[in-house]
Amino acid sequence: MAPGAVPVLHADAHVLAVDKPAGRLVIPGRTPGEASLREELEAALGRLWVVHRLDRGTSGVLVLARTADAHRALNVAFDRGEPEKTYLAIVRGSPAAEFRVDVPVAAGRKGRMRAGRLGESRAKPAGTTFRTLQRFPAREGRPDLALVECRPETGRTHQIRVHLAHAGAPLAVDPDYGDPGPLVLPSGAVLDRTPLHASRLALRHPATGEPLVLEAPLPRDLEAALAALR
């Protein structure tokens, strides 16, 4: 376990991968006195370089580099879209069994992103494929919900959240792109954060080139929500 009981998924001289808890910032933010996950890990493990980020409310696989060389190699891989990323999300609505969103993502207001238009100068190409794993029809005042697997092919800020909202299936709780929540389930379980989890990341090790597959189990809050829905 890493400091603060953050589970370590992989550690060697070049790469550190952890299971990021929901509610933690990856890098220092604007809140005075709030330590970021990177700072906490660095205090115990030494210098770390952030390779990619997860939103505060998102949990799951987070990779950091332990050397400058590894950082450069991983940055190139992520820029090329080589790592295979899989997320799990609880969304509103009853989406199709499989669907794809190819919509550019552009900066919006107050730190938010938005669906852009082809040819728009500030919009960056983005593509995500989705597969609906389970549907939970509306009942007892609860809306239609579904568990969806998300595979982003690019790494734009808030890409999955923007694409889900564009497809009419926003995250069950999302203060920026959908309903701010919280969502109270009939069982009494409360979902009060963006239910998005980075469950799997497959990439090449930056030093050896060997395949490195990292997986993080669903956290307790999402497990409890799904158990209540089932």
| DSSP element (H, E) containing 159 | helix 159-166
| Neighbour-count burial of 165, counting CB atoms closer than 10 A to its CB (0-12 exposed, 13-18 middle, 19+ buried) | buried
Catalytic residue among 19, 55, 176, 221: 55
d(CA 224, CA 220): 6
Q: Encode burial over 40-73: b for 16+ CB neighbours within 10 A, e otherwise.
A: ebeeeeeebbbbbebbebbbbbbbbbbbeebbeb
Residue bearing tokens 């580099």: 65
Q: CA–CA separation, 182 vs 169, rounded Å?
A: 17
> What pairs with residue 9 in β-bridges?
none
| Catalytic residue check, 79 | no
Report helix, strand or coil for 70.
Answer: helix
Residues catalogued as catalytic: 55
